[in-house]
A and B are shown apart, each in its own frame.
Chain A
């Protein structure tokens, strides 16, 4: 495939972060190099929603920033619609936009409308179209009635919706969404996910790269996903396809008490359990902490084996939930993290 066949493409893309640290006040500086991205290759088709998943520090935001020209790669190349993001950055900037999670990239002392008009001017939106476009976007995200209030008076969800408007002000062909639902209420996050999938991708045919921590979000929305871990892709493909590739296709969740390190180490050594992952679970029963285990196995026979094992170690099983592998299982399988 030629580079123009993909809306977004990277080739052997790497990025190092270099920092210096002094051990003493007047001592010699030590240089520390951290490789955030390590020769990654991937492509996103036109009109596709691609999910970039990975733990903190995996390189997701670095990838997004390189692709939208805010950061230069140390090695390798990246293209948006066939244009090199370093050599043709001015051209790329006209075609893309980015929405970041959290309360950034907006002027809090300006109103929502003033913010959008300001960014419309930066993107050279024709003067006669600005009002219509701004009003259209505000209506699209349900902010029309608060458009003339200062952004500092907005709730977190409203700021995020305004951010999405800012990201769409230049009608970009490719949009990068860096954890767009971070810290939002369930209902608002759901609305935003629906908006991205239905309006941006299905209705307007935009190419979207989404980074997220939330597995259900990626599962619900993405056409393709890529798992990044320590700057490298560990898996890439369609969610269902990736699930089928999981070596142990049977997976179940156990909630139990008294799961000491010794018990867990013993469980991990058992043949019937291919992979045992403990995850955070903030709950107690009768003063005892409940732990959550996700166990991957070859067959359903492993369920009774695990229950027997836990019973002999005086662990109280609260519930067992047998299910097929989820994206969360895949994530943990590939990254080894919960």
Chain B
């Protein structure tokens, strides 16, 4: 039953999200525009590469690629931050009650919602990557394909698990989406999206290390653009994997609490 519910949720979300061709077009153009904006921001500084440090090793990465990966992962992360919005919509149209009225596994509902958001993003990533490869000619250096695959996969999982937590919070509070929106700017600054982490003020680094995006950016950038091996990115990958477990556990606990609390406080239908 678990996977039937996950599948049904994914189908529902994708149908609801891509309800017209215009939405598809905008979903493709907006991140592309943001990426171009970042690229042209760097141009006046005449820099063509960025240095990134990890475990005392220094990697020189293609600036366009650095910007591209940053923008793509950030858009994905933002999308997962806003995953809670889907349950918020359910609350508004009364379908949250219809879902919670059913015996469906709550974790399956959350997973389906988060995965649908992630899948909505996948085709978009492909489109943006193709555009960038054709027009901007990113200098890709992949020495360990499995390291790249693991980096993308574990980052993906950690973002999905975080999305599930935020979805669960939306059952409890109407402010989930507001908080997620507030988080976007600090995340952009703290994750090392625009500049390498070694330039971050030391006092702020602990906050950077709380974000899965930080470790996702390090591992994907290094394995895609710097030729890093699985051993080079072992630590960020291990941290990301731990975050997956922590976020999944949190999602289960938060969902249980949120449902009980919403039923006790009668907030399931509050808009």
Contact = CB atoms under 8 A, between A and B. Distances in A.
Interface of A: 17-18, 68-72, 90, 93-94, 96-98, 100, 102, 104-110, 114, 117-119, 121-124, 127, 166, 170
A93 B8 CA distance: 19
Interface stretch (B101-109, B174-182, B206-214): B101-109
A166 B98 contact: yes
Contact of B265 (A18, A107, A121): A18
9 contacts: A90-B103, A93-B101, A93-B102, A100-B94, A104-B93, A109-B15, A109-B16, A123-B102, A123-B104
A107 B103 contact: no
A69 B104 CA distance: 13
Given A71-B268, A72-B260, 11 more contacts: A70-B268, A93-B102, A104-B94, A106-B95, A109-B19, A118-B8, A118-B12, A121-B4, A121-B5, A122-B102, A122-B104
Q: Is the interface of B mostly helix, strand, loop or mixed?
A: helix
A70 B95 CA distance: 12
Contacts of A121: 4-5, 7-8, 104
Interface string B1-43: 1001101100110011001000000000000000000000000
B137 interface: no
B266 interface: yes
A22 to B, nearest CB: 17
Interface of B: 1, 4-5, 7-8, 11-12, 15-16, 19, 93-95, 97-104, 109, 260, 263-266, 268
Contacts of A97: 101
B95 to A, nearest CB: 6
Nearest to A74: B264
Top 7 closest pairs, chain A to chain B, by CB? A104-B94, A121-B8, A122-B102, A122-B104, A105-B98, A93-B103, A124-B1
A122 B8 contact: yes
A70 B11 contact: no
Contacts of B100: 70
Nearest to B264: A72
Contact of A122 (B19, B99, B266): B99
Contacts of A117: 8
Contacts of A70: 97, 100-101, 263, 268
Contacts of A69: 101, 263
B15 A105 contact: no
B104 to A, nearest CB: 4
Contacts of A110: 12, 15-16
Nearest to B97: A70
B93 A108 contact: yes
Contacts of B101: 68-70, 93, 96-98
Contacts of A123: 102-104
Contacts of B93: 104-108
A72 B8 contact: no
A71 B103 contact: no
A117 B101 CA distance: 16
Contact of B4 (A71, A93, A107, A127): A127
B85 to A, nearest CB: 15
B34 to A, nearest CB: 27
B4 to A, nearest CB: 5
Given A93-B103, A100-B94, A114 B15 contact: yes
Contacts of B16: 107, 109-110
Given A118-B8, A122-B8, A105 B102 contact: no
A199 B93 CA distance: 28
A121 B97 CA distance: 16
Nearest to A61: B269
Contacts of B103: 90, 93-94, 122-124
A94 B95 CA distance: 17
B97 A105 contact: yes
A123 B103 CA distance: 6
A280 B188 CA distance: 60
A106 B16 CA distance: 12
Nearest to A163: B98
Contacts of A90: 103
A288 B186 CA distance: 67
Nearest to A111: B15
B266 A71 contact: yes
Contacts of B12: 107, 110, 114, 118
